[in-house]
Chain A
């Protein structure tokens, strides 16, 4: 009985919720229609965009402003500390390591997943079993970051020499007669950051995102007019020349969109690091640092400052993207 009641309530909530929104639009639309013609055309767009803007303002703009405001305050957001949180963010040793790692993540994850995705997209355009091959590569995309991290923990798992290796990589390494390697732990240092460990972590992200890049780029590759390639062939261009001179320039805008999506994703990434190493062994990233300051150390000021820095880091990418969109619109 109770379960039936709950199910009923859920349906009621959905009906009232979405029905209410529809009723709101109809009512506002009706009200605007009554107005004189001159007013109508001016107000009508706001009737439809207004509620969305209002909700967006409430859940996005106001919290953003509050976060920026808090970033100038102490741990309990009570005392004003000026730029101290920002000075901390750039001078603290752990934060510097995190910043260096983030650069590594952006360059490698974006570079590798976009280029591998592109190569796969071009190659798969020519095989008969394309759908199957594509879905295999796309599948990891359906796994959450935390789920993927758990899977990869078993890939990188280390057991002392003489124990049964339960990790895939170490099972291979030891069967070839080498000593097991602590993939995440053994440091290859670069300015305090752990290059081997960080690479092992960002490989997970590449594994997850390459399929996404491939699918989008593949759609773009298929959009290249066949006669253009035909013409190039007749002019004597080889496959590499076609790839560099025709494929890449034609799909450049798609590549930019895909690359910016990945960069934004990388900037907010924390779950892989959280699950795999918790930022130890020099593998910290900025976003996991933010979560720690905020929810583990209850230092809302520092957490907000790091969040603001991440926000500012994304702004140029967004501006560039909007700029590109505008240009595209003009061309059409």
Chain B
């Protein structure tokens, strides 16, 4: 309540300071056209190349309906959006990189539920149940999933694997044996870099979430994400330690721990393709292929296998992330855009551009431009257990706060029990 008063005074002041600066440009620009331009405003964290791709995907929509999409890309999306909503100026439609923030707005009643203009059957035909639930609050769907990213992937260079006689590990211990064998050959098995500027830490938390899914199972994973078990629980500690076996072992990672902490995540994968290779294994989500050097051919120099389960025959759980659209203002233009996004058309268009996976059911596997991407889409379709990136679902002070910095501190040599206690203490009492 109080914040709104504060922001309102602020904006009144801003206005009065600018005095006559308000301009009637909207009317001017339409010129002679009889009908005013119909627009829908869209806020998303996508900038740069991703933004251009999004615009290409949205172009057919504007052509077909005559509705302009006023696109705004904000790097600090998670900061900008709440401020815009608080000040009563939300975009018509927003693209969330995390369902947590979407759910918070849905609970606060700021979002328009999809069932007001879309049928349940239409949604269920388009999206798998697990994805729909991630965009729902109190059984009402708010989110339309757009892109998906599979995180439980290990990238490797098949040519180098063949040359060295290495084979793809089927279990976690086989993967550790392979690492040991690579060390014995006088080489370094893993490329791992977690530096990501303001968001440093997520690479590490992804690893731990993936390990949690494998060592503790999906049920404990859910309890952990919902804070039904404490962060100091032995299962969490175990996952940190398994991660430490690789990341804190100076023989296993390029540059040792200092290398892990100071290498940008986008650069670290390049070690796979160097001559001679700096490393042989790199665990990272599907999106990392956009960071590959120009001359790398997917399928020839780079391929993936799923991060193996703990023991043979076990199902391979997938850790995923994705982008989801939700609607703030109920206008006909916004509805039209949401209808377009729910159809397979834009998904297929982006799939053809490459570097993209869709959670949409009606997108055929043949749409994907190459074998490696197709394999990832297949993994996504066939996986029995799918879990969303846990740190994105936790409250921000934990998920993007102490959990991120906790992983960094753990790698940086801080005692694990204190790291876990610190994360546990930061969990907010009121939700």
Q: State the A residues within 8 Å of B (CB).
A: 2, 5-6, 9-10, 12-13, 16-17, 20, 58-59, 62-63, 66, 69-70, 73-75, 77-79, 92-94, 157-163, 182, 184-187, 274-275, 277-282, 292-293, 295-300
Contact = CB atoms under 8 A, between A and B. Distances in A.
A20 B20 CA distance: 10
A152 B23 CA distance: 42
B201 interface: yes
A185 B405 contact: no
Nearest to A77: B2
Interface in B189-214: 197-201
A70 B4 CA distance: 13
Contacts of A10: 21
A152 B3 CA distance: 37
B401 interface: yes
A63 B6 contact: yes
Given A281-B412, A297-B401, 13 more contacts: A5-B28, A62-B9, A66-B6, A79-B430, A94-B422, A159-B263, A160-B256, A160-B259, A163-B255, A278-B199, A296-B78, A296-B79, A296-B397
A17 B15 CA distance: 11
B2 A70 contact: yes
Contacts, number: 118
Contacts of A277: 200
B25 A93 contact: no
Contact of B263 (A58, A79, A160, A300): A160
B1 interface: yes
B382 interface: no
Contact of A13 (B20, B28, B278, B402): B20
B198 A274 contact: yes
B413 A187 contact: yes
18 contacts: A2-B28, A5-B28, A20-B19, A58-B9, A59-B13, A74-B430, A158-B255, A158-B258, A158-B259, A159-B263, A160-B278, A182-B258, A275-B198, A278-B197, A280-B405, A281-B261, A297-B395, A300-B3
A107 B259 CA distance: 31
A17 B82 contact: no
Contacts of A78: 1
Interface of B: 1-3, 6, 9-10, 13, 17-21, 23, 25, 28-29, 78-79, 82-83, 197-201, 254-256, 258-259, 261-263, 278, 395-397, 400-402, 405, 408-409, 412-413, 422, 425, 428, 430
Contacts of B9: 58, 62
Contacts of B20: 12-13, 16-17
A292 B402 CA distance: 11
A160 B264 CA distance: 12
A6 B1 contact: no
A73 B10 CA distance: 21
A9 B24 CA distance: 10
Nearest to A160: B255
A17 B18 contact: yes
B25 A6 contact: yes
Nearest to B421: A93
Contacts of A2: 25, 28-29
A20 B21 CA distance: 13
Nearest to B1: A78
Contacts of A5: 23, 25, 28
A13 B258 contact: no
Given A6-B25, A160-B263, A296-B78, A278 B198 contact: yes
B7 to A, nearest CB: 11
Contacts of B413: 187
B254 A160 contact: yes
B200 A184 contact: no
A9 B82 contact: no
A275 B9 CA distance: 31
A5 B24 CA distance: 10
Q: Which 9 A-B pairs have the closest CB atoms?
A: A160-B255, A182-B258, A297-B397, A16-B20, A13-B21, A160-B259, A158-B262, A17-B19, A295-B79
Contacts of B13: 58-59
B261 A185 contact: yes
A186 B260 CA distance: 12
A13 B262 contact: no
Nearest to B264: A157
A187 B412 contact: yes
A92 to B, nearest CB: 8
Contacts of B3: 77, 300
B42 to A, nearest CB: 22
Interface centre among B78, B254, B412 (most CB of A within 10 A): B412
Contacts of B2: 66, 69-70, 73, 77
A36 B3 CA distance: 46
B365 to A, nearest CB: 38
A247 B147 CA distance: 67
A103 B190 CA distance: 40
Contacts of A186: 258
A214 B400 CA distance: 41
Contact of A281 (B256, B397, B408): B408
Contacts of B28: 2, 5
Contacts of A292: 401
Interface centre among A9, A16, A278, A295 (most CB of B within 10 A): A278
B197 A16 contact: no
A326 B9 CA distance: 35
A3 to B, nearest CB: 11
B96 to A, nearest CB: 15
Contacts of B25: 2, 5-6, 9
Contacts of A157: 262
B78 A182 contact: no
B19 to A, nearest CB: 5
A182 to B, nearest CB: 4
B252 to A, nearest CB: 13
A9 B29 CA distance: 14
A77 to B, nearest CB: 5
A80 B199 CA distance: 32
